[in-house]
Every structure is written in structure tokens, then in C-alpha cells.
Structure 1
Amino acid sequence: MKVRVKDLEEGCVIAENIMGLTSKPIVRKNTMLTTLHIEVLQAFQIKHIAVSTKKADGSIFFAEAVDETLSNQKSEDTETGFAPEKAPKSFENLYTDAVVLYKNEFSNWQAGSKVDIVALKKSILPLVERVSSDQLCLYRLHQLPEAEDYLSNHSVSVGLISSLLAKKLGCSQGLCIQMAMAGLLADTGMAKMPKSLLDKSSGLSQEEQVEIRKHPVYSYQFIMDSALLKQDVKRAIYQHHERLDGSGYPKGEKGNHITLYSQIIALADVYHAMTTKRLYRSKQSPFKALETILEDEFGKFDIVVVKALQKLIGNLATGTRVELSNGTLAEVIYTQSEYLSRPIVKTIPVGDIIDLTRQRKLYIDRVV
């Protein structure tokens, strides 16, 4: 039977795939619904879905069924109070909504308000779902943010990348959501910084650097009493600027004292910063950033997490169209497992074959 999403209960069983704008379902048929699933459906603004009359535990699910023939008629919609279902928002619109919410919340934090974790979670959940089912969205992240709105864009993007890295490392769906929240909340402590420091477009003085390095502590203070975040995730927020070689902050922790979850946020943070335009420097290609992390940041990050990022960003499918750093359009024809960011490509329309492992001055600038 088809029922309203607002009437759903935990344990209900989906009777048919729930589709969005992508080729993969938002929720698959026969899925037993949890509170998280229901939140995702609400975030995608889905009004009605088909469910089994029996719940997963065998009990009967009682809810008023929606008459599909009537709900499709405008006149009947008015009488019954059911509005036509809206098409799911585009990735760009979902992203913009999350950034706007974060920006507004940040202003509230600056004024002394507490962090509304529930509101932030609702804003990023549909984005996590969308990127998980359509990974090409990930390549659009570095094209979306603008330098003047950096912090809000950065926080949303770090949340998304953190969740995908967690998934690539085999974490459960629930933990991937927690990591998305951790990445999103990692820089909340920046709200404690002087506005003049946040608006500065040039390099920081030594005193200003000392001040900025306090923000992970403030971020932790903002969320330390929340029952909605796991303790390990809170610790990851506190440690997201620590580095394995001891060069990080706020405590200069080393090696095993830095958790895997902290490393996930740390790498997502650095990668996104490299691939985003700032007021004082240009952005790098995602593929160039991968190489920079491997070469210039060696020893600072867990190699397991770095390899997960390589697979997430660099492992392009055969047939993927890309633009090279010299402006040439090409198509991926083969990727070697040890050189994920440097596949063999065929130029368009000429058809020249270029092995990017040999042509080191060339690299992929973007996915077309």
C-alpha cells in the first residue's frame, strides 16, 4: 500500500525501489526502515511511498493508504490535502541549501548560540545520499565554492568527503553519517575567532597563527555535550589538525595517538582546501592535489587513508571524459592500479593515445 512518509514507523518494509534523479535508488525495495531512512526521505521531500502491510517483525502496519488515482488528480489533491510530489532537488541546489544553513548557523554561533546538530544533520543527509549514489557529484565540489564564502563551502564539502572516505574504508552507514557530521562540525570553533581574522585575505602573523590554532579546541567545546555524536567522533573533531609526524595542533600528537577518524577528517580538510580557490591563491586540480599530498605531505597522514582518497578520486572508469591541464579533451581508456590519478587517455577528436604516467607535465584538470 502507498502511505504518507510522515506516517511511517521504524520497522516498515519498502515495497518498491524509491528513485531520485540518479540511476540508483535512494532506498531499495525490501529495506527495513530506520529513523535515518525516514529522515532521508523527508529531506528529499518525498511525500508518499509504497510499503508492505506487515512490518519486519511480522506485526501489522496500520496507516491510512493514499489512493494513487485520486492523488494524481489536481482537484482531488485539493480536497484530500495531498500536494503533488516534487522532483528531488539537484545536487547543486541541495549543496547550496546546506551552505546557506551553515552560514546562518555560523552567525548564530558567533552570537553565542549552541550548535543545532539536528538541523545540520538534516541539511547534509540528502547530500551524502546523493554523492554516495552518484560519485560524479564529487568532482563538481571543487568547482562550486567561491573564495568569499569559503568557510561554509569548506565545511559542507569536508563533511561529504569524510563520509565517502569512511565508506571507502568499510565503515557502517551509521558511522559514515557520523563522519559527515564530524567533517561538517570540525570548524565550528572558527566562530570564536575575531571577525578581522576570518576576513583577512593575506598571510597570518605568528600571533594570528597561534589564535587560529585554538579553533579545534573551541570546536570540541561546542559539541562535547551532544548525545547525538559518538565520543570517537568528538575526538576526531578535536584532532583534525593533528599529523602523524607531530607537526600538527593543538597538542602535537604523534602516531597511534591520532585516531583513524581524525585522519579521515584531516585528509578531507587538506584535500578540499587544495582544490578550492582562496583569496590568496588559486585552486589545484583534484588529481594534482592527490599527487601533492603524496609528495609534499608524506608521513603526515595514514597511508591507508591516503590510498582510500586515491581510489575515491583517481580511479576513473573507462570512457570517462576529462580535460587535461593543457586544455585537451580526452577519454580514459585504461587505469593502472598503482597510478590511479594518471590513466592512459585518448584525445578527442584526434584519437592520440597519451600515457599520463610518462607525460608527467600533463595531468587531468577536471572531469567533463
Structure 2
Amino acid sequence: MMKVHIDEVTEGCRIAEDIMGLTTHPIVKKGTELEAIHIEALKAFHIQYVEVFSTLSDGSSVEAEPVREEEVEVRKEPESTPFKKQYMELIIYYNGVFNSWQSGGKIDIVALKSRLMPLLRQVAKDKSIIYQLHRWSEAKHYIAHHSVSTALISYLLAEKAGYDQGSCTQLAVAGMLTDTGMAKMPMSILKKSGALTQDEAREIRKHPLYSYQYVMDSPLLRNEMKAAILQHHERLDGSGYPKGSRGDEISKSSQVLALADVFHAMTSERLYRAKKSPFRSLEVIWEDEMGKFDIALLRALQEIIGGLATGTPVILSDGRTAEVIFTQPQHLLRPVVKSGEDMIDLTKERKLYIEQVIS
């Protein structure tokens, strides 16, 4: 074993001792072969040094200079960022249990919910977290990021739509479970970076049914939420799947999950395309997907994403930094901003949009 600085750790290193986080569960367990997501999580937790085995997973030697105990720096712990720490911890946990589902394991909804609840409490207090979710998502671990983020967005959307607290939490848990059925998909499909064939697309369209089968006997979810999981890819105009349901055949809860699902998917990096700005993604949904989603829910999501306060710093799609000066109620996604000496009305400069809100 050897102690190395986190900046010298590379993918393929194997952890020699459990690395603990904010909970009683390890961030990374002993024996784990590190991937980029693990290294990012360790840095998010401000882990400076880790114990690794002296050989990589392929048998080659670790090319890092071991650190002697007397050289270990004693530093004041940086300012805590509990949300991202717990978010990354849940991503790693979800990846682990997803692998077990692929091998036939059962879903432990209690364990998933217990890890989700601290995130729900924080996002309820600080809704600006929603602007960060797409930045953390990565194509390699898309299903985990998408599942957790869909849960958080579903919670905020349900809250904005007037659901009671219990229903908001139920919808968040349901949102995290919508893609459990992906565990039954062939790895050749999950890892494919190009367009799916017709047969592969038909196979993917079965995942809502598989997700429903995972949860249908659970007493922890209301029947309404189980049905919402089954219907989360249905569309009001009948263009969705698996049944091609339309209009009143689709429950309101299903529509909450559907909008949260497609919004996060559009903002996230995928194996076959780059991520989009939350502002631009929501505009595309309004422009290209009209008739597929509930208008009231679209307006609710627009109010969550748009309506930035005066003085909010942003980055525009052309790379310039700016600050919000004024937002018209009918154009929440396109405020008037100031960049340097330039006043820019985004309702008129249609080629520009807000790329990122600076926290």
C-alpha cells in the first residue's frame, strides 16, 4: 500500500482502505478500481490523500510518488459544500446498486430514499442548485446522474405546481426510479455512442415497463406513483410510449415526471451529443414539443428556471459574462442583461441566450 496525493491518483488505481464521507457509508470502498467519477467525488469531499495498492488494476505499477506521514499537510478544512458531497455520494451508490440490478438484485427503495432526503431538504431551501445539475452530469454515468437529477427536478416542479409535501417527496422518489428498467437493457445498447437501430429503439422503449415491474409490489410507493413511472415517456399528443396513451389517459403525476425527465436529459451530456443550457433546453421544449406536455407544468418549470433576480451574474452563449438588469414576466427566460457597457435585450437578440448562472 502507499499514500498518495489526490492530484496524483489516476483511473485504474485501487483503493486500499475505505474512504469515509458525511455518512456512515464509505464514499469509496476498499478494493474499488477508481474511475473519473470516484476521483471527482473525492475532490468534492476535499480528500487530500488516499491509500492505494502499489499496482493498478492491469498489474502495472502506480506511477505516483508516495507521501510520507511527516509530509502530510495539516490544512484547515475548506468551506463545506454539503449538497455536492452528498449528491456525488448518491451517484456512486446508485451506480453500485444499478450494477446489482443488472445481476438480478432487488431494489431497496428505503436505502435510496434515505440518501435522497438530505438532498431534497437542501434543494427546497436553495432552488438555485437546479442550475448546477447539468454541469455535474457526465455521459459515462448518465443513468445515475439522470435518475438523481430527475428526482430533484420532479420535487421542485411538484412543489411549484401545488402538490402537498408528501406527494412532492413521493414524486421525487418515483423520479429516481423511472430508469431502473434500464438495468435490463443489453450493455451494447447502454454504451452505444451512435444512433440506435430500430430493434434497439424498440428494446429501449420497454424500460418503463421494466421499471414498473421493479416497484409494482412495493408498499413504499403509492399506486399513482407506480403508474407515473410506467407512463413517464407517454405524451399528451399520443406520440409517447410504451402504450401511446394520450390526453386524460395520462395522469398529472406522470406529466411531472415526464417533463422533469426530458428537461434534464436535454441539458445533460450524452454519449451521442453535448449538453444544452437549461434556458435554451426549456425554449426548445416550448418551441418543438408543444402539445406533448402540460402547459401549466411548462409554465411552472419556466418560473423555476427563469425570473432571475436583478444583479444575478450569468454567462451568455457567446462566452461573455453579464448581469441581469430586468426580466419581463412574459419573457422569463430572456431578461435584459448588461455586459460591460452593453445593454442586451435577449428577447430581441434571439441568437443569444443564458448559458450558465454563476453561483
Q: TM-score band, normalised by the shorter chain?
A: 0.7 to 0.9
Cα displacement (A) at 1:244: 0.4
- Asked if 1 retains the 8 angstrom alpha-carbon contact of 2:232 and 2:258, the reply is yes
Corresponding position of 1:354: 344
Cα displacement (A) at 1:88: 7.0
Any idea what the Cα deviations from partners look like across 1:90-117, whole Å, max 9, x if unmatched? 2111110111111111111111111100
Match of 1:363 among 330, 353, 357: 353
Match of 1:207 among 199, 206, 216: 199
Cα displacement (A) at 1:321: 0.5
- Distance in structure 1 (CA, Å) of the matches to 2:105 and 2:320: 50
Identity percentage of aligned residues: 56
Q: What amino acid is aligned across from residue 209 of structure 1 in structure 2?
A: A
Corresponding position of 2:120: 128
Corresponding position of 1:154: 146
Q: What amino acid is aligned across from residue 354 of structure 2 in structure 1?
A: I
Q: Does 1:278 align with 2:306?
A: no
Q: Does 1:139 align with 2:131?
A: yes
- Asked if 1 retains the 8 angstrom alpha-carbon contact of 2:184 and 2:207, the reply is yes
Corresponding position of 1:312: 304
Corresponding position of 1:241: 233
Corresponding position of 1:36: none
Q: What amino acid is aligned across from residue 325 of structure 1 in structure 2?
A: S
- Distance in structure 1 (CA, Å) of the matches to 2:269 and 2:185: 22
Equivalent runs, 1:54-69 vs 2, <5 Å: none
Match of 2:190 among 186, 191, 198: 198
SS of residue in 2 equivalent to 1:150: helix
Q: Does 1:250 align with 2:242?
A: yes
Q: Does 1:163 align with 2:155?
A: yes
Cα displacement (A) at 1:172: 1.1
What TM-score do the two structures reach when normalised by structure 2? 0.77
- Asked if 1 retains the 8 angstrom alpha-carbon contact of 2:317 and 2:353, the reply is yes
- Distance in structure 2 (CA, Å) of the matches to 1:214 and 1:366: 35
Q: What amino acid is aligned across from residue 94 of structure 1 in structure 2?
A: Q
Match of 2:295 among 277, 280, 303: 303
Q: What amino acid is aligned across from residue 218 of structure 1 in structure 2?
A: Y
Q: What amino acid is aligned across from residue 316 of structure 2 in structure 1?
A: L
- Distance in structure 1 (CA, Å) of the matches to 2:341 and 2:323: 9
- Distance in structure 2 (CA, Å) of the matches to 1:88 and 1:166: 29
Corresponding position of 2:8: none
Q: What amino acid is aligned across from residue 184 of structure 1 in structure 2?
A: M
Match of 2:174 among 174, 182, 196: 182
- Distance in structure 1 (CA, Å) of the matches to 2:341 and 2:219: 57
- Distance in structure 1 (CA, Å) of the matches to 2:315 and 2:177: 33
Q: What amino acid is aligned across from residue 175 of structure 2 in structure 1?
A: G
- Distance in structure 1 (CA, Å) of the matches to 2:300 and 2:93: 30
Corresponding position of 2:211: 219
Runs of 4+ in 1 over 6 A off after TM superposition: 43-46
- Distance in structure 1 (CA, Å) of the matches to 2:307 and 2:125: 16
- Asked if 1 retains the 8 angstrom alpha-carbon contact of 2:174 and 2:226, the reply is yes
SS of residue in 2 equivalent to 1:338: helix
Match of 1:231 among 208, 223, 227: 223
Cα displacement (A) at 1:339: 0.6
- Distance in structure 1 (CA, Å) of the matches to 2:224 and 2:283: 30
Cα displacement (A) at 1:351: 3.0
Q: What amino acid is aligned across from residue 158 of structure 2 in structure 1?
A: A
- Asked if 1 retains the 8 angstrom alpha-carbon contact of 2:22 and 2:86, the reply is no
Cα displacement (A) at 1:260: 0.9
SS of residue in 1 equivalent to 2:293: coil
Q: What amino acid is aligned across from residue 98 of structure 2 in structure 1?
A: F
- Asked if 1 retains the 8 angstrom alpha-carbon contact of 2:171 and 2:225, the reply is yes
Q: What amino acid is aligned across from residue 362 of structure 1 in structure 2?
A: L
- Distance in structure 2 (CA, Å) of the matches to 1:137 and 1:287: 14
Distance verdict in 2 for CA 1:323–1:89, change over 3 Å: closer
Match of 2:279 among 273, 283, 287: 287
- Asked if 2 retains the 8 angstrom alpha-carbon contact of 1:44 and 1:89, the reply is no
Aligned CA RMSD, in angstroms, stands at 1.6
- Asked if 1 retains the 8 angstrom alpha-carbon contact of 2:316 and 2:355, the reply is yes
Q: What amino acid is aligned across from residue 268 of structure 2 in structure 1?
A: T
Distance verdict in 2 for CA 1:45–1:201, change over 3 Å: closer
